[in-house]
A and B are shown apart, each in its own frame.
Chain A
Amino acid sequence: MNLWIAIIGMGIITYAIRLVLLLLLERVQLPAVVQRSLAYVPTAVLSAIVFPILLQPNGTLDLSLGNARLLAGLVAAVVAWRSKNVLWTIGIGMIVLWLLQAWLS
């Protein structure tokens, strides 16, 4: 019973965080400076998720050539830049990662 309450509480909190601004911003107009800042939310948040995965694969900074995730990520970034295609980026990035892992081990 307590477990159900805990989980339903987690659900209500998560939903409220996602919902409140979608409902309120109908009546409240955001200041122009805040609206401009929102253009940077995807780039900033996604970069903040990606950088540690590439640079700290085991929790500590690893800039060596033995860091397969960093090298595969750099190759994938070049693929993304040239192709602008997410599927190519994933496919080639994973193949490079597997090859490097096989070669390094």
Chain B
Amino acid sequence: MSTLATPSPTQPERVSLERRVPSAGGLNVTFIKIEIRRLLRNRRTVIFTLLMPALFFLIFGLPNKDQHLPNGQSYGSYILISLAVYGAMTAATSAGGMVAVERALGWSRQLRLTPLQPAAYIAVKALSALSLALLSVATEFVIGFAFGVRMDWQIWLIAGLVAWLGSLTFAALGLFMGYLVPSQNVMQLLGPILAVLAMLGGLFVPISVMGTTFGEIAKFVPTYGLGQLARSPLTGDFDWSWVVNVAIWLAVFTVGATLAFRRDTKRV
């Protein structure tokens, strides 16, 4: 190993006392790019957010491609959109939950020795969550299209946008849990929970075949409103209660994340 070098000739002669504060609290594109690279380096994250939802479609969606919904649309499309919602929410939760790892490693503390503002940090987490969620939705749709799913372009677009942007609710859930759970392996805990939520909320099995009790329970599950809204352009149905479901859960997780975040920064 080389030795520590003395100051290079390019270094200013004196340490400067004139200093600037960075704009936007330190928020910048390079930061987000490196965050996304970190997410994609995690094999577990790639498997659970990109590969698994696609595989699920091949197993459960493809055989139902020629079944039809009451309005004549393909049941395969219905499953594809549901799984896109599932992929996006898993991706967003994983990205948000990374704060647990960063707290455990002391990286959060290290960041407090930089000009980065807490709000900018949260913004970076939200943006990297949205990026991974977008990649997940895109992967799902490309696989679906490649295996013969055909819908009007408006349906692709609106369903994709709802699945993608709705994942913010789960980015908040990930942050909430990341600040709450003192564990590096927060996703080992959250992964199964997300799968159960997806099941109960009608992302794996349509609500209509769930029976009365589970059908009623489903309406209160965080994945329900999002799934119904994302499939809405396909099914042609719409109900304001779905919007209410999404809004309430977004509010619950955001408030939870904010409180847990405040508690955490106070403690450091």
A pairs with B: no
Interface residues, chain B, with chain A CB atoms under 8 Å away = none
Interface residues, chain A, with chain B CB atoms under 8 Å away = none
